[in-house]
Chains A and B, each alone.
Chain A
Amino acid sequence: MSEQFEPKIVAFVCNWCTYAGADLAGTSRTKYATNVSIIRFPCTGRIDFMLLMKAFENGADGIIVSGCHPNDCHYTSGNFHARRRWIVFRSLLDFMGFDTDRITFSWVSAAEGTKWASLVNETTEKIRAKGAFTEFKNLDLETFNRLHDEAIAK
């Protein structure tokens, strides 16, 4: 009986909304999957796309990025800037052929504890179905092997 694949998912969340929403899920004792670990940022505006890349590089199979709903940012506009940044980043990743479904973006407010729990569960199942992010991890091995094979074939 093979063990079920347990994806590793990192969540980049903002302190004022999603982190508080996750705390609320905890206070309400809502149960959800263990696969998601949270890293706290003051605002989604602070989330650098390079941190997402580093997460994938270091073994994350999936990422969640979540913050305050538009118009509700504790710092007024951080999430608006984040939104634009994500639109562009996602478009770039898609153009490069990166599987953008591995990154889940959402707005979760401080009152939405149940939404957080559902998001964690849904994302975990989605990434579990996709499997480990070997496409990214094996970049070097794959290309190396292929180029090597092609060179030998010549």
Chain B
Amino acid sequence: MARIGVFICHCGENISATVDVAKVAEKAGKLSGVAFSVDYKYMCSDPGQTLIIEAIKKHKLTGIVVAACSPRMHEGTFRKAAEKAGINPYFCEMANIREQVSWVHPKSDTTTQKALDIVRTLVEKVKKNTALFPIKVPVTKTALVIGGGIAGIQAALDIANAGHQVIMVEKKPSIGGHMSQLSETFPTLDCSQCILTPRMVEVAQHPNITLHTYAEVESVSGFVGNFDVKIKMKAKSVDYSKCTGCGACWQKCPSKKIPDEFNEGMGFRTAIYSPFPQAVPNKPVIDRLNCTWFLKGKCGLCTKICPTGAINYDAVDEFIDVKVGAIVTATGFDLKHADFFPEYGYGKFKDVIDGMQFERLASASGPTAGEIRRPSDGKIPEKIVFVACAGSRDKAKGIEYCSKICCMYTAKHAMLYKHKNHEGKAYVFYMDIRAAGKDYDEFVRRAIEEDEVQYIRGRVSRIYEKNEKLIVKGVDTLMNGEPVDIEADMVVLATAVVANIEAESLAQKLHISYNKHKFFAEAHPKLKPVETNTAGIMLAGACQSAKDIPESVSQASASASKVIGLFSSSELTREPIVAVVNRQAPPNYTSCTGCLLCQEVCPYHAIETEEIKDRAGNVLKVVARVNAGLCQGCGTCVAMCRNKSIDLQGFSNDQMLSEVMALLNS
């Protein structure tokens, strides 16, 4: 005989402002099977939970319905309370009368009635609930870090230093990410490579870290604690076990005119190449798309020169399978190329460049050895215009968010230019100055006051070339919208930060969510910024949203701590929301006919076959069986089964039918 307790939360005024909670509690108390019904201001608070626990004990409740916020918020909280009170936690259900009723409807009788309808629906469901017990699965204490930028490096080091194994996969020939391309970093103006490279070396040498560069994640299957990952090791064409990194090959390689990705197309590299001098590992790969040997079958100079015979033209892509317990995505960002701003002439005028290209010019290891020079004629520019917000915060252009880092790096770029060219003039067209971090505003003030960078509040409408100069047409909104025309020698656009170009396909491989801009979705925007909705997969760095280096590092350490927490016990407790194929007494043994049409639909291959045998060992029938360790509880098999032999615990046929009936019959 069911004795259900109903607890209606006011949630302060969030629910009680539009729903008559006292009335709902009163009417719910009259529902068949409800033994106790009460309303209270804050159910999730300590006294609220105590109220529930005492009620369960006092009224000998067999199940509870907490009508409050979304179960996505507090189902766990109330299930724990039920457990404390001595009943199986799966006899607790939540009725969502806040996000889906009180917050979206006006105060009225209809709204109160709707809340009651939903409470009634969940009461009927709970009556059909059964006791469920957590499933224990082993945890593989190896983490996979996807991406070798500063966030990936930090996460890998933190996890490795905690004593766990880490596998890092980086698609480029070297780790380091975008930070390795920077010249100096704000707000301290210390050399980016100088602070980064020791970390890179630490990763390469750490006994707990296995580094795979020039590799990509091919596929991921499994679930938290037990992921099976296939990694594609792209053919480097160089045998790293023989290569010593002497550099003879790329020094002599005759293909010297390949646009250099590391230098953002502002310089050239060879076909066999190491991306930058401090690359880790400092061994080259061959770019088969541009190598004469692979294109025409000629040359082969590197093979002849290599002292250790490390060149291997016949190398093929290899695939390895690894088992990991957790995954950290640290795939970073890209800069939006400003070809969608035809009015700024990026791509058309050689001297209009973006922020990363400026970094390479300013960089001592860059194509101009650190001298700021015009890409068109190599002259030193006397006037540079920096355009902030070139693409961000613009709904019409499709990027309505702020890219966060540009105000700071624009100030930095202007300062670097002025430090190198004391007589030069630097102008910044800005909308706002977002310098909220520690020492950030002081940094920008320094640019304005000490380095005499001229900040003009207004946007640029057009840039065009005239007599080898770039005419920048802007406006000064603080001077009543007075037009400002500047004859610049160079223009640097602070283009939008966008997600890594392969973010979407990686997200689909991992089954994690992403927003319309392809930034990965965190589990909760405030309270779970480093986890995803997919258990076992964490986020670190700019792949989640545009952020600077200190934040990327903090987030990486945070996600590492989540991984370390996951690895802190040898067994993982999984929610028992899994499918089960029924078993009955002989002679049926089960109503399953063994058609196995359910097997195909399971994305986790959780449906196996079982031979039902008699005592003599003769096989009577072959039927389906669910491996509870693999089942993730989607229930697609349940909807597939014609005679309902397979059912989903927590969302069973009985429970769902009861909900439909209860919702429509008062």
Contact = CB atoms under 8 A, between A and B. Distances in A.
Contacts of A58: 660-661, 664-665
Interface residues of B, number: 50
Contact of A39 (B121, B601, B633, B653): B121
Contacts of A54: 657, 660-661
B612 interface: no
Contact of B601 (A42, A77, A109): A77
A58 B106 CA distance: 27
Nearest to A26: B99
Interface string A29-53: 1111010011111110111110100
A77 B533 CA distance: 16
B660 A46 contact: no
Contact of A27 (B103, B577, B638): B103
A76 to B, nearest CB: 4
A59 B664 CA distance: 6
Given A34-B111, A51-B656, A77-B601, A42 B511 contact: no
Contact of B634 (A26, A30, A43): A43
A26 B70 CA distance: 10
B72 interface: yes
Interface string A126-151: 00000000000000000000000000
B114 A37 contact: yes
B460 interface: no
Interface in B323-365: none
Contacts of A32: 104-105
A7 interface: no
B99 A46 contact: no
A62 interface: no
Interface string B72-101: 100000000000000000000000101110
B518 to A, nearest CB: 12
B99 A43 contact: no
Contacts of B98: 26
Interface in A74-129: 74-78, 81-82, 85, 109-111, 117
B104 A75 contact: no
Contacts of B533: 16, 74
Contacts of A78: 603, 634-636
Contacts of A64: none
A66 B657 CA distance: 18
Contacts of B619: none
A29 to B, nearest CB: 6
B71 A55 contact: no
A37 B118 contact: yes
A20 B508 CA distance: 19
A48 B664 contact: no
Contacts of A25: 99, 104
Contacts of B531: none
A34 B114 contact: yes
Contacts of A59: 664-665
Nearest to A24: B99
A23 B99 CA distance: 5
B511 A74 contact: yes
A71 B639 CA distance: 20
Contacts of A73: 511
Contacts of A20: 72
B635 A45 contact: yes
A29 B521 CA distance: 21
Interface residues of A, number: 50
B58 interface: no
Contacts of B636: 43, 45-46, 75, 77-78, 81-82
Contacts of A47: 639
Contacts of A42: 577, 633-635, 648, 650-651
Contacts of A37: 114, 117-118, 121, 663
A110 B72 CA distance: 12
Nearest to B638: A46
A78 B656 CA distance: 18
B96 A55 contact: no
Contacts of A111: 515-516, 521
Contact of A45 (B508, B639, B650): B639
B104 A117 contact: yes
B127 to A, nearest CB: 16
A57 B632 CA distance: 32
Nearest to B93: A40
B664 A75 contact: no
Given A45-B634, A74-B534, A111-B516, A39 B639 contact: no
Contacts of B604: 75
A23 B660 contact: no
A46 B659 contact: no
B316 interface: no
B513 A72 contact: yes
Nearest to B114: A34
A83 B414 CA distance: 54
B660 A39 contact: yes
B666 to A, nearest CB: 10
A23 B72 contact: yes
Contacts of A77: 601, 603, 636
B110 interface: yes
Contacts of B513: 16, 72, 74, 109-110
24 contacts: A16-B513, A23-B72, A27-B99, A30-B104, A31-B106, A37-B117, A39-B121, A39-B656, A39-B659, A40-B71, A42-B635, A43-B635, A46-B635, A46-B639, A47-B639, A48-B639, A54-B660, A58-B660, A74-B511, A78-B636, A81-B636, A85-B639, A110-B513, A117-B104
Q: What are the 10 A-B residue pairs with the smallest beta carbon separation, nearest first?
A: A26-B99, A45-B636, A46-B635, A75-B634, A76-B603, A58-B664, A26-B103, A43-B634, A23-B99, A48-B639
Interface of B: 70-72, 96, 98-100, 103-106, 108, 110-111, 114, 117-118, 121, 508, 511, 513, 515-516, 521, 533-534, 577, 601, 603-604, 632-636, 638-640, 648, 650-651, 653, 656-657, 659-661, 663-665
